[in-house]
Amino acid sequence: MVAAFGGSGLLARVVPCGVIHPLKNDNAEYTVSQGLCIQHLQAGRILLQSSLFPPLTTLVVQGLASLLLLALLVAGPRPLGAQQSNAYRLDAKESKIEIHLFKGGFLSSLGDNHIISLTHFSGSANLSPKIPWKADLSGDATSLEVIDPWGSPSERKEVQDTMLGPQQLDVSHFPSIELHSRSFDDPTGQDTTWHLVADVKLHGVTRKTEFSLDCHDTGDRLLIRGEKMFKLTDFNIQPFSTAFGAVKVKNDFEVTYNIVLDRIH
């Protein structure tokens, strides 16, 4: 193959090896190596391909980025309020905790049963599926109030003063009633009975206690109902008695509860 370069009139023969040999003009000093020709040809081909056909990797990355952007635009940001909370706070106005004392002794007919209401208390629960369930309740023992529907106001006051005094609950030294969960089982299926194991503190004494709770979830409100029997002597409280035990309060007493918990948003 013979080629002419520019206007110099130089003629050269290009052989398969890619080296140009001058045919005329012995004073010409043009030498082109095979490697240099290949580099220029490859550079030109890469430039052309890059401008017309982007690399496959670039296309894939651009495609994924476009899909991600489209998904974000369609979904949009989620407000924090849309995330459902698993934390609950006790509604003291809607809740009720009562203690029932029962009369005993061979002259029990001369005595009365008593109903005592815990009027000041607070509590919370966390039912998150990511951590063990937790429940806590705290009450003011000085707020215990005798609410017997029978008897006169003076009789109820006498019973209350005795109950809160140093011979019974001694609320001046032990002013708090507390419950703190140890374990709280998540019910399965349609089961509405939840099982709670908790530490109950009364009269300065803490006892491990098991509860079966009748629970209903109404959406933003959790309703818990039930009852539990205790013994006064388990909390170092001596049952009140008079007339040498002829009229007394039984050692067993019952706590009934109707607890309303509202979801915290």
pLDDT at 258 (0 to 100) = 97
Q: Are 3 and 18 in contact (CB under 8 A)?
A: no
Question: Residues 211-215: contacts with CB within 8 Å, 24+ apart?
Answer: 215/187
pLDDT at 185 (0 to 100) = 78
Continuous segment of H or E residues that includes residue 157:
helix 153-164
Continuous segment of H or E residues that includes residue 162:
helix 153-164
CATH 2.40.128.110 domain range(s) in the chain = 85-263
CATH of domain 85-263: 2.40.128.110
pLDDT at 16 (0 to 100) = 46
pLDDT at 224 (0 to 100) = 95
pLDDT at 240 (0 to 100) = 84
Cα separation, 5 vs 82, whole angstroms: 76
pLDDT at 166 (0 to 100) = 94
**pTM, 2 dp:** 0.66
pLDDT digits (tens, 9 = 90+) for 68-125: 444 444 444 444 344 578 999 999 999 999 999 998 866 556 578 999 999 999 999 9
Furthest CA-CA distance within the chain: 145
For residue 112, which phi and psi values (nearest 5 degrees)? -135, 150
pLDDT at 242 (0 to 100) = 75
Among candidate residues 39, 14, 12, the one with its CA nearest the CA of residue 28: 12
Structure tokens at 182: 């140890």
Q: How far is CA 220 from the centre of its chain?
A: 15
Structure tokens at 111: 């005595």
Structure tokens at 179: 């419950």
For residue 242, which phi and psi values (nearest 5 degrees)? -145, 170
pLDDT < 50 positions in the chain: 1-41, 43-44, 46-53, 56, 59-61, 64, 67-82, 244
Cα separation, 21 vs 15, whole angstroms: 8
